[in-house]
Structure 1
């Protein structure tokens, strides 16, 4: 489901069934159905249009934020994270993923069909042979993060489940010099928030704030709990991914 706001796009998604006939129109069908080995892998999959009853190829999609397809992967502890852009190799889709930790991962494919339909579909993958699985635990309310010298801080304020909120955030540098924010995939930043159980994903493109190096995040968190929030942006041409967490009240 998509909800458009002025200058801001919010995509809400929940885990779909894993077979044709599920609630999602576009279904992900991984090439390997069993366990995957850990590390840097080439993840191959098909996309199936359950309404048109055909495979989805490169020509069936239009660019969405400068890419035909976005693939988001994270583990159940909400510590490991990938946001990559698959390519169609003539027979199926493929993307490089870095999955170092054992356990279950959620994998989402997001894009837009040529008829204007946007989709956000998911499967699970089980990883073996890597680092010990990270146990799930409450993340708490941690609204400041540092990545390679870039600092992002989200404003304080109560967030309540099911209610639209607007949160300001600032971008700075650890050394005190001003950040130099340039668009990332056609937006000021990309924000991906995931529910505590991993089954709900919010993908937001925040608006640029009134003050330099600030942004405004609009979102509705559907359930209570500690959400993992990854903010991705370009600072001086370098992509930074900053993990925070926001506690959502009932």
Structure 2
């Protein structure tokens, strides 16, 4: 995707991480998903879509991307260190319990695997779609704009296990002096490439909540959002601190006879814990994919959560 390459897998709802998802997934004890005829895992809106660890009695679904190995599969990152500000081929493989590279994947939202790369301070976010060779080696060109620590998160479904969506993560390093940035402040709007995206709704740990993101341009509602990867929008959520990941899918789908192409794109989200999250919404209009970014605070019931810190489009968000 363009302004940002993950968010465990991406048309129903999501359980925020979040645990992913691309998002916006759970690593251990994934929610079983039925598969519709089009090849997309389906979930009830109240269930969400996540992978990961259950954190506590008052917390939500498990978060994803925190483990390198899960469910008999391992993310083998072959290029754990990259030079900063230089286009480099990022290579990796998914290995099964016998150490053999996985070569057959189920296509979900038009891709066999979604790769999220994010910096630890969440100032850089990339949502990428690598390709793989016959021997199971995945690769994609990546340019990391700043030195520091990153997390690479692979969101995929093995072809032989259509209901087993996984999000595996591994640490990545960009050489140089690391100068972490503060998490952007909260706000309900994000500006990106001449568009304004407004967030309505709030996150609560262990409680499914609806999030609606409304797209406008120069004060006018955008009612012709274009399908991108089989949906009108993709939402990835990353938890500040550990980068736990969740990819959420919107309600409905293009061509289903009921879902409108904007201006509203809605999701159901359940935060796995209280805390700060960074949301990344990918949407396409006039042939270009853009990413609107928000900072959201998930709070327990009775507390007043704040939502959304907007961020202008920049080279830090790539597709």
Identify whether the pair has TM-score above 0.5, normalized to the shorter chain.
yes
Shift of the alpha carbon at 1:98?
2.3
| Cα pair 2:238 2:246 within 8 Å, conserved | yes
Question: 1:37: which partner in 2?
Answer: 83
Q: Which runs of 4+ in 1 moved over 6 A?
A: none
The answer for the alignment partner of 1:93 in structure 2 is 138
Alignment of 1:68 onto 2:112: yes
Q: CA RMSD in A?
A: 2.4
Find the aligned partners of 2:44 and 2:286 in 1 and give their Cα distance: 28
Whether the 8 Å CA contact 2:208–2:268 is kept in 1: the answer is yes
Query: TM-score w.r.t. structure 1 length?
Result: 0.86
2:203 maps to 1:153? no
CA contact 1:61–1:112 (8 Å) conserved in 2: yes
CA offset digits 1:134-154 (Å, max 9, x no partner): 425344432311111121111
User: Offset at 1:81?
Assistant: 0.8
Q: 2:46, 2:208 within 8 Å by CA — same for their partners in 1?
A: no
**Which residues in structure 2 correspond to 1:42-191 (within 5 Å)?**
42-50=89-97, 53-57=99-103, 60-91=104-135, 92-115=137-160, 116=162, 117-129=164-176, 133-155=178-200, 157-174=201-218, 176=220, 178-191=222-235
Is residue 77–residue 136 contact of structure 1 (8 Å, CA) maintained in 2?
yes
In the alignment, is residue 234 of structure 1 matched against residue 284 of structure 2? yes
Higher RCO structure, 1 or 2 (CA under 8 Å, sep 6+): 2
In 1, Cα distance between the equivalents of 2:72 and 2:234? Answer: 24
* Structure 2: segments with no counterpart, 5+ residues: 1-29, 34-42, 52-62, 253-258, 301-319
Partner Cα separation in structure 2 for residue 65 and residue 7 of structure 1:
21
**Number of residues paired by the alignment?**
240
Q: Secondary structure at the residue paired with 2:76?
A: strand
Determine if contact 1:141/1:226 at 8 Å carries over to the other structure.
no
Q: 1:166 to 1:86 in 2, by over 3 A?
A: same
SS at match of 2:242: coil
The corresponding residue for 1:245 is 295
More strand by share: 1
Question: 2 CA distance for matches of 1:17 and 1:177?
Answer: 40
- In 1, Cα distance between equivalents of 2:46 and 2:291: 22
Whether the 8 Å CA contact 1:74–1:107 is kept in 2: the answer is: yes
Assess, with a 3 A threshold, how the Cα gap between structure 1 residues 210 and 233 changes in structure 2: closer, same or farther: closer
Contact 1:144–1:152 (8 Å) recurs in 2? yes
Structure 2 distance, partners of 1:10, 1:200, is 13
Distance 1:98 1:141 in 2: 28
SS of residue paired to 1:181? coil
Task: Flag structure 1 segments of 5+ consecutive residues without an equivalent.
Answer: none
